[in-house]
Amino acid sequence: MSRESPPGESSFARRIVRRGMVFVLVIVVAASGGAAYLAKQLYDGAETLYRAYGEDAVIVDIRPGMSTSAIGQYLVAAGVVRDENTFRMAVWRSGRERGLQAGEYRFAGAISAMAVIDVLTQGQVYLRPITFPEGLTRRQMAELFGASDFGSAEAFLAASDRAELIAALDPEAQNLEGYLFPETYSLPRGATADDLVEAMVAQFETTFDQDLRQRATELELSVREVVTLASLSQRETGLDEERSIVSAVYTNRLRRRMPLQCDPTVIYALELADLYDGNLTRENLRFDSPYNTYVYAGLPPGPIAAPGGADLRAALHPAEVAHLYFVSRNNGSHVFADTLRQHNRNVREYQVEYFRRRRAGGR
């Protein structure tokens, strides 16, 4: 037999159940509201600029094989990102978790986590510069390379032996002397001497463009002859206003079958033999080498240094002058002459008398 409920019991129970359901709903709403608030904070935080390192900049090295979590921890420790949750939100928002690239990155100033993800996914690695001034030989370039963080001088010299890189323009080249274009190059960590040498030859080919190649053809000069002539002029003067004039002197002497008598070619010959001590003597001028333009007529066998773009253009567009001689004024500039008599007079004034006055104390 069933028991009848006391009056009012059923309504009381229903009220208890309803209150319980409301309490649970309040908890769920509160929890979801908290989660939404937290999500909004992380969402907004991914766009907030942040910086916690004390230096002007910080360099981070993302190694190949690092997980997304490990990258986040590393960036937080480096002071680039606020916390791991912010980093994870930025990765989630970007949808590029698999696009994070290894490499060395430099961060300077405050940056958002989203911007950090952009840097890592676009592979905007930190590039280190190395500068090669005009007029260096490949040996001197190797010394600069060896003093950098990129590698050894021996590695650069070995790379500069890769004559095949320039064979299309100069099939006679035995190495890359003259074709390693002087410039500032920006390289990522891990770049090798071969990478750099390839970039330098590519820059030469870009600079020695179709117009210059066409001009060389018109003058019946090979690329090797142009670069060699340009290297002589480069080693003689660093003044823009003199490049085409020096080039004209050598061009005029070649036309007259006069020896070039270019001192830098003698120095280069001595350097190849490891005999140059910084001084050029009369005896050195008789040193037997095909590069010695006091001993052998015509251009030397190849370039003696790396000419710049202005030198290459000057070699192909010499000034319209009749000069056959020049001598240093001892201030970086030169005085030019058409005849030997004029030249001898200039030598007396700017060399003999100049050093005589210096020995006499400047009187």
Residue 68 in tokens: 């997304």
Q: How many other CB atoms are found less than 10 A from the CB of residue 127?
A: 13
pLDDT reading at 85 higher than 50: yes
pLDDT reading at 20 higher than 70: no
Q: Tell me what pLDDT residue 190 has.
A: 83
pLDDT reading at 213 higher than 50: yes
Q: How far is CA 167 from the centre of its chain?
A: 24
The average confidence (pLDDT) of the chain is 89
pLDDT reading at 173 higher than 80: yes
Q: Confidence class of residue 11 from pLDDT cuts 50, 70 and 90?
A: low
The distance in angstroms from the start CA to the end CA of the chain is 141
* Side chain identity, residue 181: F
pLDDT reading at 82 higher than 90: yes
Query: Could you report the per-residue pLDDT of 292-311, keeping only the tens digit for each?
Result: 999 999 999 999 999 999 99
Nearest alpha-carbon partner for 192 in 163, 164, 158, 161: 158
Q: Which of 26-30, 186-190, 283-287 comes out lowest in average pLDDT?
A: 26-30
Q: Where are the alpha helices (DSSP H) in 52-184?
A: 68-77, 84-94, 113-122, 138-146, 153-159
Q: Confidence class of residue 27 from pLDDT cuts 50, 70 and 90?
A: very low
Between 12 and 329, residue with greater pLDDT: 329
Q: Tell me what pLDDT residue 5 has.
A: 47
Q: Confidence class of residue 19 from pLDDT cuts 50, 70 and 90?
A: very low
Between 21 and 236, residue with greater pLDDT: 236
Q: Tell me what pLDDT residue 41 has.
A: 65
Q: Tell me what pLDDT residue 46 has.
A: 83
Q: Confidence class of residue 362 from pLDDT cuts 50, 70 and 90?
A: low
Q: Tell me what pLDDT residue 277 has.
A: 92
pLDDT reading at 129 higher than 60: yes
Query: Could you report the per-residue pLDDT of 335-345, keeping only the tens digit for each?
Result: 999 999 999 99
Nearest alpha-carbon partner for 326 in 339, 308, 314: 339
3-state secondary structure (DSSP) of residue 127: strand
Q: Tell me what pLDDT residue 221 has.
A: 97
3-state secondary structure (DSSP) of residue 193: helix
Query: Could you report the per-residue pLDDT of 51-64, keeping only the tens digit for each?
Result: 999 888 999 999 99
pLDDT reading at 257 higher than 60: yes
Rounded mean pLDDT of 219-244? 96
Residue 129 in tokens: 């510069």
Rounded mean pLDDT of 79-107? 93
Q: Tell me what pLDDT residue 309 has.
A: 97
Q: Tell me what pLDDT residue 3 has.
A: 45
Q: Confidence class of residue 26 from pLDDT cuts 50, 70 and 90?
A: very low
pLDDT reading at 83 higher than 50: yes
Share of residues in the chain with pLDDT > 90 (%):
79
Cβ neighbours for 151, distance < 8 A, ≥ 6 positions apart: 145, 192, 193
Q: What are phi and psi of 103, to 5 degrees?
A: 150, 175
Q: Confidence class of residue 30 from pLDDT cuts 50, 70 and 90?
A: very low
Pairing of the two strands 334-337 and 184-188: unpaired
Rounded mean pLDDT of 278-299? 95
Q: Which residues pair with 62 in a beta bridge?
A: 103
